């Protein structure tokens, strides 16, 4: 019993320490954002790595997701001769939930792991310590450009994912289920409201914050050589996924009660 309680207490203390480290890094990042110098070149480089390089995989996953949504919903809709509502279902699902969540998970797995591995390698090879010795703040130089790039590019990727997902549903609806082009487009855009679109964009903004802070924290606290960098990279992906799903649940409930 004593060992069990010690284990629970140790896990709780570790959780508090982790949450505190994440919070401190978040505060330091927000503090250094408005401070000069403004490293525009590094920001644009990170935007290219995060946004442009993620376009192909986001396209494939969003396209197939939209097609699968249309196909799966067709089974139920055809029983009630309600195939025309498939367009609305795909549009709502992509803009409010699947677009932002899937895009965030893709970016967390691809970009978050990359950031952790890069910063973790710099940490274990003492490059970050060397930067501090040369009076260069590592938060300003390493974290801030990635933070700004993620909160800018993740909503952009979400919009891109929404459009591609709706297009995937359009392909199935028009060419497989026989819905007319005019009917599908009408039932896609007419029921949508600005709130549905901005709900997904607000989520993606906070998802970007989660991915960046978790990835940078894991990278900058890595130790134990190559094996430690691997552990930090794995932990970054796992923690990011959990926080993305949990925050999505929170925001969905929040927007549901706001919209009532």
Q: Which residues contact 98 (CB under 8 A, 6 or more apart)?
A: 65, 69, 165
The tens digit of pLDDT for each residue in 47-63 reads: 999 999 999 999 999 99
pTM of the complete model: 0.92
> Is residue 231 in some structural domain?
yes
Q: Is residue 47 domain-resident?
A: no
What pLDDT is stored for residue 189 in this prediction? 86
Q: What are phi and psi of 134, to 5 degrees?
A: -90, 15
HEC assignment per residue over 65-133:
HHHHHHHHHHHHHHHHCCHHHHHHHHHHHHHHHHHHHHHHHHHHHHHHHHHHHHHHHHHHCCHHHHHHH
User: Position of tokens 């007319």?
Assistant: 180
18 belongs to a structural domain: no
Write out pLDDT tens, residues 165-203. Answer: 999 999 988 888 888 888 888 888 888 888 888 999 999
- For residues 9 and 163, give the distance between their C-alpha atoms in angstroms, rounded to a whole number: 47
Q: Residue 88's CB: how many other CB atoms inside 10 A?
A: 19
Task: Let me know if residue 212 belongs to a domain.
Answer: yes
Task: Tell me if 177 is assigned to some domain.
Answer: yes
Task: Please state which of the ranges 142-151, 201-210, 247-256 shows the lowest mean pLDDT.
Answer: 247-256
* Residue 122 is assigned to a structural domain of this protein: yes
Which is nearest to 58 in space by CA: 113, 6, 106?
106
Q: Count how many domains the chain has.
A: 1
Within a domain: 36: no
Residue with tokens 């330091």: 28
Nearest alpha carbon to residue 161 among 102, 88, 249, 92? 102
Containing domain of residue 140, as a range?
A: 56-258
- Report the distance separating Cα 227 and Cα 135, nearest Å: 29
């Amino acid at each position: 019993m004593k060992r069990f309680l010690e284990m629970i207490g140790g896990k709780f203390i570790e959780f508090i320490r982790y949450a505190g480290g994440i919070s401190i890094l978040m505060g330091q990042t927000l503090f250094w954002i408005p401070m000069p110098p403004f490293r525009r070149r590094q920001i644009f480089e990170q935007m290219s790595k995060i946004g442009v390089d993620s376009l192909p995989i986001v396209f494939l996953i969003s396209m197939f997701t939209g097609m699968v949504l249309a196909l799966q919903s067709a089974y139920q809709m055809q029983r009630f001769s309600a195939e025309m509502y498939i367009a609305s279902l795909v549009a709502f699902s992509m803009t409010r939930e699947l677009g932002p969540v899937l895009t965030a998970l893709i970016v967390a797995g691809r970009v978050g792991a990359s950031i952790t591995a890069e910063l973790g390698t710099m940490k274990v090879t003492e490059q970050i310590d060397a930067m501090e010795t040369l009076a260069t703040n590592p938060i300003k130089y390493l974290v801030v450009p990635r933070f700004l790039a993620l909160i800018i590019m993740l909503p952009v990727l979400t919009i891109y994912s929404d459009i591609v997902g709706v297009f995937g549903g359009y392909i199935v609806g028009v060419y497989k289920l026989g819905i007319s082009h005019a009917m599908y487009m009408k039932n896609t855009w007419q029921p949508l409201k600005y709130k549905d679109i901005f709900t997904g964009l607000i989520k993606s903004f906070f998802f970007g914050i989660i991915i960046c802070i978790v990835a940078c924290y894991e990278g900058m606290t890595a130790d134990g050589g190559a094996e430690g960098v691997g552990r930090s990279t794995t932990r970054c992906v796992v923690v990011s996924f959990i926080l993305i799903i949990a925050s999505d649940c929170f925001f969905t409930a929040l927007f549901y009660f706001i919209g009532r």
